Amino acid sequence: MKVLVTGSGGFIGSNMVKYLLNNTNYEIFGIDNFSSGRKNENLIKSLQCERFSFYESDLSLAKEIFQKIKFDIVFHFAATPRVLYSVEHPVETNENNVSNTLMLLDFCKETGVKKFVFSSSSSVYGDLVDFPTKESSTKNPKSPYALQKSIIEEYCKLYSSLYGLDTVCLRYFNVYGPGQYAENAYSTVISAWMRGFIENSTIRLDDDGLQSRDFSYVTDVCKANLIVGSSAENFNGEVFNVACDNTTNLLEIFDMLKAITGNNPAIDRRPPRIGDVRKTHADIEKIKRLGFEYEVSLKEGIRLTYEWYKTV
């Protein structure tokens, strides 16, 4: 089995490579241009082995890779994230998140890839009021980034119905864990605050702190990817929430970090951020029917993230 992990130099992508190396016998290929930074470059180098090969390349130059290697599964993590950045640069982020992904779908269609697993986002729902949120809830993206994820979900369905490429979309809820640096574009409040707690220095709090999130530990996200990617089922563009079916507000996260680190940093309070939603809380019954169960509790995940963060 040959699999491609796009964005393998990023937070979730690098964790996915490690997860596949530890939990499968797949032959793994990674691609990344390190446009989001080179924090994981040494990690990727250290992972390279007989079962893992890495290409430093843009997706736009990946066609020759597809011509050389017949992939069975493509796990697509590569993207230009950041809600605020997409608000400020909608054309650039659309090129990277929509046009490049459409091109990747075409490579998959032309070369007989068996399954395309797309990393979508809970941001496609917008600021909803029905909780826990089911996949059938109306999409209402509030930023170009969220809209771009929504558009690719539709393209995935289209490529399945028109061309027979089996696709599946995973809507992640607030992924965190080791490998997520504070400056990471996907950084949750957990990682954004971790350095401040370790050093007992001022942290930033947007809004009143009562906004809440359904947090997802990164290895649980990797497990969900492997479950759908290795499934014999044809999903034809189906979407699944990936989360832990719980919601925790930021002030509660503050208290957890305070208990784990023993520190109590000062808070720099700021106005709400443009494009942010007030609450996320996922219904994950649908992916549970495929055998998914989240394994890492929030408190344990924060502890593991803290233990990693102390080493970097």
Query: Is 177-213+246-281+295-309 a domain of CATH 3.90.25.10?
Result: yes
User: Can you give the pLDDT at residue 34?
Assistant: 87
In the chain, the percentage of residues whose pLDDT exceeds 70 is 99
> Structure pTM?
0.95
Cβ atoms of 211 and 250 closer than 8 Å: yes
Residue 35 — very low, low, confident or very high, per pLDDT cuts 50/70/90? confident
Q: For residue 291, what are the contacts with CB-CB under 8 A and spacing of at least 6?
A: 227
- pLDDT tens across 271-300, in order? 988 767 789 999 999 999 999 999 999 999
User: Can you give the pLDDT at residue 186?
Assistant: 58
Please give the single-letter amino acid code of residue 19. Y
Residues in the chain: 312
Residue 61 — very low, low, confident or very high, per pLDDT cuts 50/70/90? confident
Please give the single-letter amino acid code of residue 166. D
User: Can you give the pLDDT at residue 185?
Assistant: 57
Most confident segment among 56-70, 73-87, 232-246, 274-288: 232-246
Q: For residue 69, what are the contacts with CB-CB under 8 A and spacing of at least 6?
A: 2, 4, 29
Whether pLDDT at 36 is above 80: no
- Residue 172 has a CB neighbour count (10 Å cut-off) of 25
- Given the candidates 3.40.50.720, 3.40.30.10, 3.40.50.2000, 3.40.50.620, the CATH classification of the domain at 2-175+216-242 is 3.40.50.720
- Please tell me which residue, 133 or 60, carries the higher pLDDT value: 133
- pLDDT tens across 161-187, in order? 999 999 999 999 999 999 998 876 557
The residues that are catalytic are 145
The residues spanned by each domain of the chain are 2-175+216-242, 177-213+246-281+295-309
How many Cα atoms sit within 13 Å of 219 on the Cβ side?
A: 15
- pLDDT tens across 67-76, in order? 999 999 999 9
d(CA 192, CA 173): 16
Cβ atoms of 305 and 178 closer than 8 Å: yes
d(CA 209, CA 229): 36
**Which stretches within the chain are classed as H helix?**
11-23, 41-47, 63-68, 83-88, 90-94, 100-111, 144-163, 189-199, 218-230, 250-261, 285-288, 298-309
d(CA 274, CA 290): 36
How many Cα atoms sit within 13 Å of 255 on the Cβ side?
A: 7
Please name every residue paired with 115 in a beta bridge, in sequence order, or none if there are none.
73
- pLDDT tens across 117-151, in order? 999 999 999 987 789 999 999 999 989 999 999 99
**Mean pLDDT over residues 85-114, rounded?**
95
Mean confidence (pLDDT) of the chain:
94
